Homo-oligomer: A and B are copies of this chain.
């Protein structure tokens, strides 16, 4: 029995070039021996691995598991394997992880770690590696991007707060090296100006999308004596951090200060008070990104710089109330 023949017998596409009884013999033997075709060797020859890598910045941020789920669903159905790598918000790790995956022969990338200036993405673009961006994008927009309508979401927040009578509104902006940080901040300024609300000193940058950063930002602002009656946070974790910092100083939410979050991760509705926030379709984002990548791997190259912004939904809950006085 020649290995070439066995290979054809196991491969549904080449099944026709082998007699039916040989196919049966091979299948029986394969099953008996517990044979599973060595993907490494196959990948070496065919330069396809049926593996897609999903790169996330922080797996403990509850935002990402749902994106993962969405992507996973689609990829597994298509016979692909999803491998996940967490960069822990470290660009160095991102670089080395992506390099490792690339050398390991993954067919494509779904990247959720994009920074505004991202050399790793530039490399992927230069090497023409099939890649799609999810949740965050980079400036040069070299790949299809799947995100949410941040501009609209933030506008909904500001509008809501204004209708409650708030005028001094603070924005906790995410890191300036992320598109979500930048765009939400920009959207905030625009929304404020459009309603003739003051924007001076109203935006404060946070170093990361974490509770610690949110709390630190609020403490800084309070220490500087800037007063506000509402906070539009760049995401949910920042909002939670802000609430903690306020509570620690005896400032009550929503009595004294209203807060809005962003993303509506699973437990936001369970906190007390339940958070007013913006719900984004995380599952769908992941699924769409995966589907597009699969299409690309199947031969239909997407238009470069395509941006898909999914609709958001404003969730009015307990952290926002009519402005005092």
Contacts and interface: CB of A to CB of B under 8 A. Distances in A.
Given A44-B41, A44-B44, A36 B82 contact: no
Contact of A83 (B38, B69, B85): B85
A272 B243 CA distance: 14
Interface in A49-106: 49-51, 59-60, 62, 65-66, 68-69, 72, 76, 81-86, 88, 93, 97, 99-105
B105 A93 contact: no
Nearest to A86: B72
Given A68-B86, A86-B68, A267-B267, A104 B51 contact: yes
A179 to B, nearest CB: 23
A40 to B, nearest CB: 4
A32 interface: no
A66 B86 CA distance: 12
Contact of A39 (B81, B84, B103): B103
A248 interface: no
Interface of A: 36-41, 43-44, 49-51, 59-60, 62, 65-66, 68-69, 72, 76, 81-86, 88, 93, 97, 99-105, 240, 266-267, 270-272
List 3 tightest A-B contacts by C-beta distance, closest first.
Answer: A272-B272, A84-B84, A83-B83
Given A59-B65, A59-B68, A69-B88, 8 more contacts: A38-B103, A40-B44, A40-B103, A59-B69, A83-B85, A84-B85, A240-B270, A267-B271
